[in-house]
């Protein structure tokens, strides 16, 4: 199965259809008059679809088990064709397109099974996805491209050459995947004055975002928040909460992190953990969604 542990849950919706084509008008009349020997075709097929959609991961081996939080089944009759419209909603890390198509298929197949005693010429066709919402493709146009970032690793040990930086490189990898250009990458010691100088320098160079890694813990040398907070125009508490919430679901120690987020003019400033996993998970928690901040800073309205 595809790894989705790094993803954030979002509201997902998918609508699929299946078309059941009967061979004679009398079949449609029997359905509408509830005269089919096996029972009410629409209601029983709807029940079959509701049961079927919940069993999707039992049938398709690569589908993730997920909570089905809303399902609806609608029917449209047009001549000899009955169109099944199947809608599925959930709040989860992956979409429900296959679940919607499976549900529509089961509804259509149950209709076939109920109608075959009175109509030998039934066909099932046009099983397809009509629409889906909630995945990353719905949000990609909300992000400004051509952004530049500076990555600053704050560590006495790494700056002295006693340890290799991995957290900063994990941050850069995520930025590259989001098509953000990394114009600067530097390693500095845990010194308030040096941290502040770096931020002021990059902000004066109109760098779009400055991401610090390290110095957000509770040791005596963890001074990154103390260095940055006095320089920020505004804190963005929602970003900070998201980072810690995402991390806390993966390790019980994330509550000890003092990661911060804020802005100086139109420059986004982030201070993330210095551990490799901490930095990577923090980036996964907020990217690419955090890039929407640049549209907001330029006066765009939230959709």
Please tell me the distance from the alpha carbon of residue 94 to that of residue 240, in angstroms, as a whole number. 24
Which residue is catalytic, options 58, 62, 74, 113?
113
Distance between start and end Cα atoms, the chain = 33
The question of whether 165 is a catalytic residue gets the answer no
Active-site amino acid positions:
113
């Amino acid at each position: 199965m595809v790894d989705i542990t790094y993803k954030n849950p979002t509201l997902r919706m998918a609508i699929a259809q299946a078309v059941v084509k009967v061979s004679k008008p009398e079949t449609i009349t029997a359905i509408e008059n509830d005269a089919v020997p096996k029972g009410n075709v629409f209601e029983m097929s709807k029940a079959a679809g509701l049961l079927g959609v919940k069993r999707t991961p039992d049938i398709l081996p690569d589908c993730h088990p997920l909570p089905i939080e809303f399902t609806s089944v609608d029917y449209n009759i047009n001549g000899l064709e009955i169109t099944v419209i199947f809608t599925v909603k959930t709040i989860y890390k992956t979409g429900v397109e296959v679940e919607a198509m499976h549900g529509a298929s089961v509804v259509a197949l149950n209709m076939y099974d109920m109608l075959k005693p009175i109509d030998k010429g039934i066909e099932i066709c046009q099983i397809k996805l009509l629409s889906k919402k909630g995945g990353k493709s719905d949000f990609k146009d909300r992000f400004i491209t051509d952004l530049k970032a500076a990555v600053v690793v704050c560590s006495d040990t790494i700056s002295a050459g006693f340890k290799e930086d991995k957290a900063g490189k994990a941050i850069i990898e995520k930025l590259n995947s989001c098509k953000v250009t990394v114009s600067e990458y530097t390693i500095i010691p845990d010194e308030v004055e040096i941290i502040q100088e770096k931020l002021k320098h990059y902000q004066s160079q109109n760098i779009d975002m400055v991401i610090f890694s390290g110095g957000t813990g509770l040791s005596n040398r963890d001074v990154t928040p103390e260095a940055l907070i006095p320089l920020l125009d505004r804190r963005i508490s929602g970003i900070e909460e998201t980072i810690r919430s995402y991390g806390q679901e993966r390790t019980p120690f994330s509550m000890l992190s003092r990661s911060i987020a804020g802005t100086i003019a139109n420059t986004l400033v982030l201070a993330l953990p210095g551990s490799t996993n901490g930095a990577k998970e923090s980036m996964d928690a907020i990217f690419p969604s955090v890039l929407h901040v640049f549209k907001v800073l330029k006066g765009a309205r939230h959709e």
